[in-house]
Structure formats: structure tokens, C-alpha cells
Amino acid sequence: MKFQAIIFDLDGVICFTDEYHYRAWKSMADSMGIPFDREINNRLRGVSRMASLEIILEKYQGPALSQEKKEQLARQKNDIYRESLKEMSTRDLSDEVRETLDALRAMGLKLAIGSSSKNTPFILGQIGLKGYFDAVSDGNNITRSKPDPEVFVKAAQMLGVAPEKCLVVEDAVSGAEAGHAGGMKVACLGDAALNKAGDWNMKSIRELVDIAK
């Protein structure tokens, strides 16, 4: 077997919280009179909270904001987002994803999460995957967000697996770039697959089973 471990991005791969993020950022932007739409929202995929805020503030035309105010705006967004995440449940984990994870585990592969989100533990709990993964590297233990490879490198270290024996699964181009920068092969879904950012560009997560063999 060419891989010993698979490291999954969370949002857009294991589950989908895009709409929750969009609504929360939109609420925050509206409160500041900042234009915000789905095109701008798409630029935030795989990007950390503070880096996302800076992208949104490109359209801001008011007086200069202090770092303290920026952190307050980021917290405002996250409070709205976390409240909406309470709506998530095991229904947000598709049969396709669950069956694929179980099949990969049955092959003896180690499984990990590599996500920029600080809400990763909460989301995993909501969708019924708390304690499922062998390692969780997320926004709570990294200082640099994708396309920096830190989140995936740390996941590999937590698993005790060399980077070249890890396969990263991503839906964002920045995430695919991070995987490659970390010395790993990358399988892509969604937007990243459409942009041919991966070593494999998949239509379904089920394809992972054949890729991993």
C-alpha cells in the first residue's frame, strides 16, 4: 500500500458548513456596512478567521480599525457561526463519507483531520465523529493557515507517519497547495478538483478507496 495515512480537510470534505460561514460573515459585514457576497465568500475557503476578516475588510471604507476592533469583529462572526452550528447533527454526515471512512480504516490506514477551523472539535461532536480520528490538527494548534503546510505537517507528526506516506484530501486550492508544500500527495474534491489542483481530482469521495490501494 502506497499510503499509511489519510489527512482530511473538514469543511467541504467530511461535512459542509459553507452556508453557516457565509451567513455569519454576511451578518458581521452588514453590521459594518461592508459589501459582501458569495464571490468574496469563495475566497475565504481554507483560510483562517483573521485572514478571512482581512479579505472582507478590503471593501471597508470607514476609519482605520484597531487590532482590538478586528478581533472583536472576528469574535462577533464566530459567535454567530457557533450558534448556527448547534443546528448540525449526524444528518450532516453523509452515508458516502461514513462508508468511505470505515472502508479506509478497515484497510489499516490511519485517519486524521487537518483543518484551519478552531471549531473542528465541536463540529466533529455534532456530526457524530468525536474520537473517530487518530489525530486532529486544527486551528487550535497552528499559527499559520493554508497554503502554509503547518496543519498537515503537524497531523503527520501526531500520527507518526512520514509526509510522503500521507495522502491529503482537500476541496480548496489553498489546501491542495498546503498538502503539496508539506511533501504529501493530494486528492481533491469540489472547487480544487475543478481547478485540477490535486494529484487525483475526484468526483466522489468514494474514489479514495481505489486511490489508497
The span from the CA of 117 to the CA of 94, in Å, is 20
* Bond prior to 147 in cis (omega within 30° of 0): yes
Q: How far apart are CA 75 and CA 53, in angstroms?
A: 11
Q: How confident is the model at residue 1, as a pLDDT?
A: 65
How does DSSP classify residue 12? T
Q: In angstroms, rounded to a whole number, what is the distance separating the alpha carbons of residues 122 and 127?
A: 9
Distances in Å between the Cα of 116 and the Cα atoms of 50, 145, 205 are 11, 6, 20
| Identified catalytic residue from 9, 138, 148, 171 | 9
* Domain 18-85 falls under CATH 3.40.50.970: no
CA distance 168 to 136: 13
Query: What pLDDT score was predicted for residue 164?
Result: 97
| DSSP 8-class letter at 118 | T
Q: Express each pLDDT in 78-119 by its tens digit.
A: 999 999 999 999 999 999 999 999 999 999 999 999 998 889
Rounded Cα distance, 176 and 65, in Å: 32
- Is 79 noted as a catalytic residue in this protein? no
The per-residue pLDDT of the chain, averaged, comes to 95
Class of domain 5-16+91-212: alpha beta
Q: Is 95 a catalytic residue?
A: no
Domain ranges of the chain: 5-16+91-212, 18-85
Share of the chain above pLDDT 90, in %: 90
